[in-house]
Amino acid sequence: MKVFQHVNIVTCDQDFHVYLDGILAVKDSQIVYVGQDKPAFLEQAEQIIDYQGAWIMPGLVNCHTHSAMTGLRGIRDDSNLHE
């Protein structure tokens, strides 16, 4: 489990809860805890990262992309738009 502490969290639930100086725990790519109280099971974390007031928005997915950001990067960089 990876734990991010001292982090400001904006959730992507219907109410967009905000936790200032909160804790976020992730296990096997799944968010298992978001809040401000430190549950006992967090003591078993393999990695604890102090985010020192940074902001996290868990659950936000970046759906914006450009074809140049894919595996095709560099294939036709020397072509103009009409080619």
Domain-wise residue ranges, the chain: 2-69
Fold assignment, 2-69: Urease, subunit C; domain 1 (2.30.40)
Residue 72 has pLDDT above 90, yes or no: no
Structure confidence at residue 8 (pLDDT): 96
Distances (CA, A) of 55 to 41, 49, 50, 51, 80: 23, 13, 12, 8, 40
Structure confidence at residue 82 (pLDDT): 64
6 residue type, one letter: H
Taking only the tens place, the pLDDT of each residue in 11-34 is: 988 888 999 999 999 999 899 999
Structure confidence at residue 25 (pLDDT): 95
pTM above 0.75, yes or no: no
Residue 41 phi, psi (nearest 5): -65, -15
Taking only the tens place, the pLDDT of each residue in 48-67 is: 999 998 999 887 777 776 65
User: Around Cβ 38, how many Cβ atoms within 10 Å?
Assistant: 13
Residue 6 has pLDDT above 70, yes or no: yes
Residue 74 has pLDDT above 90, yes or no: no
